């Protein structure tokens, strides 16, 4: 398969400032050595608990965070630099949909202006063509054409998310990064937006990076799923394989923690003890073994925990304490 997006050994570290001079006193390793490949037309799901670095990774891919180390390639071409003329071209190819549609739309612009802005910035078409494109976009996401003259507050949550999706599609990107696009939506609206995303993906042949904490939603939309824990990817496999045959103990517990909407499996869901360790001061060995107090945790200290391919396409972090 032709790979479109390649992330190689990406690290994003943030300085933690403290003391009266607000000098950097520590580093928060939000993303710590992530390598991923996404094929053309594929949807890669990214799951993990809050604070595991999945949003930071997404923001880095679209150029909102600067990588500390590592590289991002798009079609074999380095994407690291988002400044200058070339950077502008790159940004056109990767677009993002944000979690909270109420906060990511400019309240003082009407929907027409919001959708037109990317086209204006990239100097695409004249005003007539842009107006036509705005109508086309509204159609595409299932909003009425007169929505263009209305303001974000006049829309419901689900409709606002449709506007957010339309804006991301304005420049016909090759890659769409979706950061928790349905988490803020109501139950009956969520399935409407998921259906829209599925339809757009198939119709426009989009390559997606789909981030969510809800494993059942991710499974529904993704071809492959990567599980992140404390800044690292610990397991990648095809969606079905990952759910049915998880190899890492953390993936297993993520699946078990989901309360199933099915009374038949009642009592089977189980809680994982402890909390995610801080990325500012991560434990020396395997971060998950440390959390659950695994008896063989000590063996993982000092080892390099690398991803290993166990079966074709199923990668898991090889670690003495967390393998199932």
Partner 1 sequence: MSLLEVRGLEVAFENEEGEDLVVVDGVDLSLKPGQTLGLVGESGCGKSVSALSLLRLLPQPTGKILNGSILWKGNDLLNMSTDEIRSIRGKEIGMIFQEPMNALNPAHTIGRQVDEVYITHQGLDRGQARVHTLKMLQKVGIPEPSIRANEYPHQLSGGMRQRIVIAIALACEPDLIIADEPTTALDVTIQAQVLQLMSELQEQSGASLLLITHDLGVVAQTCDEVAVMYAGRIVERAPMHRLFEFPQHAYTKGLLASIPSLTGPVQTKLPVIQGMIPALADLNSGCRFASRSPHFHEQEWLEVRAPLVEVEENHWVEDCPACGRLNNQSSI
Residue 89 near residue 173 (C-beta atoms within 8 A): no
Tracing tokens 């695409």 back to the chain, one arrives at: 124
**Residue in 12, 228, 239, 322 binding partner 1, rule: CB under 8 A:** 239
**Residue in 9, 50, 129, 172 binding partner 1, rule: CB under 8 A:** 50
Span from 19-27, 70-78, 134-142, 238-246 in contact with partner 1 (CB under 8 A): 238-246
**Residue in 272, 277, 282, 299 binding partner 1, rule: CB under 8 A:** 272
Residue 202 near residue 195 (C-beta atoms within 8 A): no
Does position 260 interact with partner 1 (CB under 8 A)? The reply is: yes
128-154 in b/e burial notation, b at 16+ Cβ within 10 A? eebbebbbebbebbbbeeebbebebee
Among 201, 166, 125, smallest CA distance to 209 is for 201
CB nearer partner 1, residue 77 or residue 216: 216
Question: Binders of partner 1 among 207-236, rule CB under 8 A?
Answer: 213-217, 219-221
Does position 140 interact with partner 1 (CB under 8 A)? The reply is: no
Does position 55 interact with partner 1 (CB under 8 A)? The reply is: no
Residues 144-183 vs partner 1: string with x where CB under 8 A? Answer: ------------x-xx------------------------
Does position 190 interact with partner 1 (CB under 8 A)? The reply is: yes
Q: What SS3 class is residue 195?
A: helix
* CA 291/CA 278 separation, integer angstroms: 11
Question: Half-sphere exposure (CA, 13 Å, Cβ side) for 267?
Answer: 1
Question: What radius of gyration do the chain's Cα atoms show?
Answer: 21
Token duo for residue 170? 């304005």
Residue 65 near residue 53 (C-beta atoms within 8 A): no
**Residue in 66, 258, 280, 324 binding partner 1, rule: CB under 8 A:** 258
**Residue in 84, 259, 295, 302 binding partner 1, rule: CB under 8 A:** 259
Span from 23-31, 80-88, 144-152, 194-202 in contact with partner 1 (CB under 8 A): 194-202
Among 175, 167, 304, 172, smallest CA distance to 232 is for 304
Span from 74-82, 98-106, 173-181, 267-275 in contact with partner 1 (CB under 8 A): 267-275
* CA 36/CA 228 separation, integer angstroms: 11
Span from 124-132, 203-211, 250-258, 282-290 in contact with partner 1 (CB under 8 A): 250-258
**Residue in 269, 301, 309, 311 binding partner 1, rule: CB under 8 A:** 269
* CA 103/CA 96 separation, integer angstroms: 14
Count of other CB atoms within 10 angstroms of residue 73: 16
Does position 281 interact with partner 1 (CB under 8 A)? The reply is: no
Chain residues that interact with partner 1, rule: CB under 8 A = 49-50, 156, 158-159, 186-192, 194-195, 198-199, 213-217, 219-221, 239-240, 243, 253-263, 266-267, 269-273, 275
């Amino acid at each position: 398969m032709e790979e479109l997006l390649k992330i190689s050994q990406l690290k994003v570290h943030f300085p933690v400032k403290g003391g009266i001079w607000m000098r950097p006193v520590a580093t928060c390793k939000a993303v710590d050595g992530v390598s991923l490949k996404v094929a053309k037309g594929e949807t890669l799901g990214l799951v993990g608990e809050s604070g595991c670095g999945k949003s930071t990774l997404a923001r880095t891919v679209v150029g909102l965070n600067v990588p500390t180390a590592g590289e991002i390639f798009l079609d074999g071409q380095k994407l690291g630099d988002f400044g200058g003329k070339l950077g502008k071209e790159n940004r056109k190819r990767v677009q993002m949909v944000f979690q909270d549609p109420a906060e990511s739309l400019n309240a003082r612009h009407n929907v027409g202006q919001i959708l037109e802005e990317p086209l204006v910035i990239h100097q695409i078409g004249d005003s007539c063509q842009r107006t036509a494109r705005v109508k086309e976009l509204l159609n595409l996401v299932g909003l009425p054409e007169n929505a263009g003259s209305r303001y974000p507050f006049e829309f419901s949550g689900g409709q606002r998310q449709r506007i957010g999706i339309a804006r991301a599609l304005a420049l016909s990107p090759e890659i769409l990064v979706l950061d928790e696009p349905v988490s803020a939506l109501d139950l009956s609206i969520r399935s409407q937006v998921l259906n829209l995303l599925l339809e757009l993906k198939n119709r426009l042949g989009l390559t997606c990076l789909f981030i969510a904490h809800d494993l059942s939603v991710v499974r529904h939309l993704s071809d492959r799923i990567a599980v992140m824990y404390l800044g690292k990817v610990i397991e990648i496999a095809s969606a079905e394989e990952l759910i049915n045959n998880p190899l890492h103990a953390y993936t297993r517990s993520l699946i078990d923690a989901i309360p199933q909407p099915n009374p038949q499996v009642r009592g089977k869901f189980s809680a994982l003890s402890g909390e995610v360790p801080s990325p500012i001061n991560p434990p020396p060995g395997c971060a998950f073994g440390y959390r659950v107090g695994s008896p063989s945790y000590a063996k993982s200290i000092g080892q390099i925990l690398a991803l290993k391919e166990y079966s074709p396409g199923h990668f898991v972090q090889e670690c003495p304490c967390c393998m199932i």
